Amino acid sequence: MFFKQSLLILKRDLKIEFRNKSLLLSMIIFAVLFQVFLQIVFDANIEAIKKIAAGVLWIPILLSALLGFSKYGIAERENDALTGLLIAPVDRGAIFLGKLLGNLLFVFIVVIISVPVFFLFLKQPFPESIGLLLFTLFLGSWGFVALGVFFTTLAQSSSITDLLVPIMIFPLAVPLFLAISQLTEMALYPSIVMGQDLWVLLLVGYNILFTIAPLFLFDILLEV
Amino acid sequence: MIQRFIDPIKLILTGITAILIGIQLYMVFFFAPIEKYMGIVQKIMYFHVPTAFVAFAAFGVVFGAGILYLITKNKKWDYLAVSSAEIGVLFTTFVLILGSMWARPVWNTWWVWDDPRLVTSLILWFIYVAYLLIRTSVKGEERHRKFAAVFGIIGFIDVPLVYFSVLWWRTIHPKVIDENGANMPPEMANTLFFSMFAFMVLFATMLLYRYVLESQREKVKEIRQHSMSERTDF
């Protein structure tokens, strides 16, 4: 029942978003453009790029996801649609899960396009540990999107939503950022594989915390 | 009513704080010996460490008051949370500034990324500045209280995560700075503990003043709204 409800929310949101594909398209274009921009400004040689590769890989994805948060479901603001959604006999947790899945789908599509572009420009051999890289990309995007969707929905009533969201989530996401940058570095250059299990543990724990907690908190926080 | 007792309590507490801080200053500058290697600069410790304790205690109060507010829906807890958060941000700012001032002559740098306590303090500062921004920018009386309470709770839970992730991040790299030795002569230790006590009382005093201010402000707002609604009745 719960999952059926979240799938309904997901279906509804995706239908709205795919009617005008501008959001997904602009997220992809932004990520790729920023990727190119970073490669140009850093203009690093093979040795130096090792230090910044994880950042160059992740920053476009994270910023693109961040820009997507507040625009995804923007139709909710029109005609008081959000109130309608909250009145509907749907579990609030299911609303969160549905929105999370929708945003996540968009970010995954961005990842699928942005990461190959990264390797294309980097003139770098194929990642040594592709499994670890995919794992990190999956859970890293998941954690960031969970955090983002939660706080963006809450910050809708703020007068500075678009600015408040990054100010709120970036400090909270420091453990997540450290975990994904370390794991990405390990996946790209496997010579430094110290403490990999620790970071995997941190990443998984962080994701569980920020996926489960909002499911319950949404109910308290979103009252009509 | 409690209102009658608040003014005398405020006065007494202010007096006690003034005396304690006076004794603390005397102890710091005349009782505690000058450190052999760091010299006079080391006296920053008697302000830096207690300030850090107050900051952390203040965020602990935000956490506790946030939980109590969500359970009881009593606005008083929220007044306590916002008062404590403001003091916490103020003291964290002092911690960072004092720490930098101490680090410059002793570690020969304003800032290091190798010490998880430094990085955690900085992140803590950002988290609670965000908390204050939520309070000023979110519309809706009850909504911004709840939102802030939840953010205060999550922010506090996040602190150990930040601390340990920075610790693991940095232990992979060689460590540049050693822990400061905890063994010090009893005069120094006594001064430090007394400073912590004095600063905690200072925190309590500030918290009481800020709390009373917040509840009075809310009361004025209520009275104004009440009179406005009466006026529109005509």
pTM for this model (two decimals): 0.86
Chain A residue with the nearest C-alpha to that of B154: A172
Closest chain B C-alpha to A25 CA, distance in angstroms:
31
Instruction: Give the nearest partner residue to B165 out of A160, A202, A217, using CB atoms.
Output: A202
**Token output for A15:** 């239908």
- With residues binned 3-state (H G I as helix, E B as strand, rest as coil), the percentages for chain A, rounded to 5, are 85, 0, 15
For residue B229, pLDDT beyond 80: no
- N- to C-terminal Cα separation, chain A: 23
Candidates A178, A217, A221; nearest CB to B169 = A178
φ, ψ (nearest 5 deg) of residue B138: -85, 130
For residue B27 the two structure tokens come to: 């102890």
Chain-chain contact of A198 with B130 (C-beta, under 8 angstroms)? no
Query: Do A164 and B139 lie within an 8 Å CB cutoff?
Result: no
Q: Which of A168, A170, A216, A219 to mutate to test the interface with B (most CBs of B within 10 A)?
A: A168
Mean pLDDT confidence for B82-99? 94
Say how many domains are in chain B. 1
The partner residue sitting opposite A172, judged by closest CB among B127, B138, B171, is B127
- Asked whether A159 and A218 are in contact (CB, 8 A), the reply is no
b vs e for B169-198, b when ≥16 Cβ sit within 10 Å of the residue's Cβ?
Answer: bbeeeeeeeeeeeeebeeebeebbebbbeb
Q: What is the pLDDT of residue B33?
A: 83
Q: Is the predicted pLDDT of residue A224 greater than 60, yes or no?
A: no
Residue B146 lies in a domain: yes
The closest of B190, B196, B199 to B27, measured between CA atoms, is: B190
Residue A207: the pLDDT is 92
* Mean pLDDT, rounded, of chain A: 85
Q: Measuring CA to CA, how many Å separate B150 from each of B69, B126, B154?
A: 10, 16, 6
**For residue B162, which residues of chain A lie inside 8 Å, CB to CB?**
171, 174-175
Interchain CB distance below 8 Å, B155 and A172: yes
Look at residue B190 in the predicted model and tell me its pLDDT. 86
Is the pLDDT confidence value at A124 over 80?
no
Alpha-carbon distance of B161 to A171, in angstroms, equals 11
The band of A22, judged by pLDDT with boundaries at 50, 70 and 90, is confident
CA of residue B45 relative to chain centroid, distance: 17
State whether B146 and A155 contact (CB < 8 Å): no
What is the pLDDT averaged over residues A16-36?
Answer: 88
Q: So what's the ipTM on this one? A: 0.85
Cβ neighbourhood burial of A173 (10 Å; 0-12, 13-18, 19+): buried
Rounded CA separation A221/A112 (Å)? 34
Task: Identify the band that residue A193 occupies on the pLDDT scale cut at 50, 70 and 90.
Answer: low
Q: Distance between CA atoms of A169 and A143, rounded to whole angstroms?
A: 11
* pLDDT band per the 50, 70, 90 thresholds, residue A125: low
**Residue A158, SS3 per DSSP:** strand
Model confidence at B173: pLDDT above 70: no
In a domain, B5, yes or no: no
Average pLDDT over residues B49-66: 93
Q: Where are the beta strands (DSSP E) in chain B?
A: none
**Nearest one of B105, B85, B104 to B93, comparing CA atoms:** B85
Q: What percent of chain B has pLDDT over 70?
A: 91
B89 near B232, Cβ under 8 Å? no
Q: What is the pLDDT of residue B5?
A: 80
| pLDDT, averaged across chain B | 85
Residue B176: the pLDDT is 43
Q: Which chain B residues contact residue A160 at CB under 8 A?
A: 133, 137
Least confidently predicted of A135-144, B1-10, B102-111, B212-221: B1-10
CB–CB of A107/A68 below 8 Å? yes
Number of domains within chain A: 1
Q: Which range has highest mean pLDDT (A45-49, A99-103, B90-94)? A: B90-94
What CA–CA distance (Å, rounded) separates B74 from B57? 22
Is residue B186 in some structural domain? Answer: no
For residue B39, the cross-strand partners are B35
Q: Which domain holds residue A88?
A: 2-221
A160, A202, A213: residue with CB nearest B137:
A160
- Residues of B within 8 A of A154 (CB-CB) are 147, 150
Is the pLDDT at B105 greater than 70? The verdict is yes
Better-predicted residue by pLDDT, A43 or A7:
A7
| Token code pair at residue A107 | 């970010």
Nearest-neighbour CA in chain B from A27: distance (Å): 26
The whole-number average pLDDT for the span A4-14 is 86
Considering only residues A224 and B126, tell me which one the structure prediction assigns the higher pLDDT.
Answer: B126
Could you give the CA distance from residue A50 to residue A185 in angstroms, rounded to a whole number? 8
Whats the size of chain B, residue-wise? Answer: 234
In a domain, B189, yes or no: no
Tell me the residues of B at the A interface, defined by beta carbons under 8 Å apart. Answer: 70, 123, 126-127, 129-130, 133-134, 137-140, 143-144, 146-147, 150-151, 154-155, 157-158, 161-162, 164-166, 168-169, 171-172
Distance CA B231, CA A98 (A): 46
Interatomic CA distance for residues A127 and B121, integer angstroms: 36
**Both tokens of residue B166?**
């920075």
The helix/strand/coil state of B35 is: strand
Q: What average pLDDT does this structure show over A70-82? A: 76
With cut-offs at 50, 70 and 90, classify the pLDDT of residue B39. Answer: confident
Its domain, for residue B25, covers 15-176+200-227
Average pLDDT over residues B195-212: 93
R_g over Cα of chain A: 18
| Predicted local confidence at residue B162, as pLDDT | 86
- Is residue B9 domain-resident? no
Whole-angstrom distance, CA of residue A36 vs CA of residue A56: 10
Contact A212, A219 (CB under 8 A): no
pLDDT bin (cut points 50, 70, 90) of residue A167 is: very high
Q: How far apart are CA B2 and CA B145, in angstroms?
A: 24
Tokens for B169?
A: 């991040």
| Contact across the interface for B134 and A168, Cβ inside 8 Å | yes
CA distance A140 to A134: 10
Closest-CA residue to A110 (of A158, A162, A67): A67
